[in-house]
Every structure is written in structure tokens, then in C-alpha cells.
């Protein structure tokens, strides 16, 4: 099975999740989302697999969020653009399985804490 990991290589949680995926024998595409942010369309597809809204994926403790976005009401499209343009706001790590036969909600997970990764495999 193939998986895409959206991560920050220096993040300890991301490193644990990468190792867990490797231990499961998955074919992994690792994306440093800070260097290669997902497009708004990619984010939309990921969010549908997560069964989440864009604002649910935001790191609300980030200073950038506190300074520029806290308390604002944005549309889905606006949030998708904000996350693309400011990838530091995206919660990590995100694991997306290439498993279209699985129902939404079982195709992707925000693996924080890393134990949440098991939600995809149970």
C-alpha cells in the first residue's frame, strides 16, 4: 500500500510516524509541507479524506494564527488559500493512504499524537 506523509522532517512526532509507516512496509512519499505546500485543491482533497474542515487543521497556538487569523470568519476557499500560503499553520503530520476503496475518514489521519496512526489500520 502507498501512503503520503505531509511532515516537517525535524519534528519528533513526524519522525515517529515516518518510522511507524516504514515498519508497516508501506511505500511512502514524504512531503516537507513547509517547502512544498499542498495546493488549495490538494488541501481540499486531503480534508475530504480526513472528514475535516480547513479550520480544524489549523495550528491555533501558532503566533501567526494568533496575530492574523484568530477570531476571523473565513470561507472554506479562503481557509484553503490561507493554509496554502502559510503552511506553518497546518497541523502535522498528516498521513494519506492511497486506498480509494476505504471510506472517507479511514483514508487519512492527522497523526498527532502518533498513536492516531493506528486509526487507519484497525
pLDDT in tens, the chain (122 residues): 899 999 999 999 999 999 999 999 999 999 999 999 999 999 999 999 999 999 999 999 999 999 999 999 999 999 999 999 999 999 999 999 998 777 766 899 999 999 999 988 87
Full domain range(s) for residue 69: 2-120
Number of domains in the chain: 1
User: Grid coordinates representing 39?
Assistant: 495546493
Return the CATH number at 65. Answer: 3.40.30.10
Q: What is the pLDDT of residue 67?
A: 98
Radius of gyration of the chain measured on its C-alpha atoms: 14
Burial of 36 (0-12, 13-18, 19+ CB in 10 A): exposed
Residue of 1, 4, 11, 47 marked active site: 11
Q: What is the pLDDT of residue 104?
A: 67
Q: What is the reported pTM?
A: 0.93
Contact in structure between 40 and 64 (CB atoms under 8 Å) = no
Q: Has 14 been annotated as catalytic?
A: no
Q: Which of 48, 47, 18 is nearest to 31 (CA)?
A: 18
Amino acid at each position: 500500500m502507498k501512503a503520503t506523509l505531509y511532515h516537517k522532517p525535524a519534528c519528533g512526532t513526524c519522525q515517529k510516524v515516518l518510522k511507524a509507516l516504514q515498519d508497516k512496509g508501506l511505500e511512502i512519499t514524504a512531503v516537507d509541507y513547509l517547502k512544498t505546500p499542498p495546493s488549495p485543491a490538494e488541501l481540499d482533497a486531503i480534508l475530504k479524506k480526513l472528514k475535516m474542515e480547513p479550520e480544524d487543521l489549523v495550528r491555533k497556538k501558532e503566533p501567526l494564527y494568533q496575530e492574523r487569523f484568530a477570531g476571523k470568519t473565513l470561507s472554506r476557499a479562503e481557509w484553503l488559500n490561507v493554509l496554502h500560503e502559510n503552511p506553518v499553520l497546518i497541523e502535522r503530520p498528516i498521513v494519506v493512504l492511497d486506498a480509494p476503496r476505504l471510506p472517507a475518514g479511514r483514508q487519512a489521519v492527522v497523526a498527532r499524537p502518533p498513536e492516531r496512526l493506528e486509526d487507519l489500520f484497525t
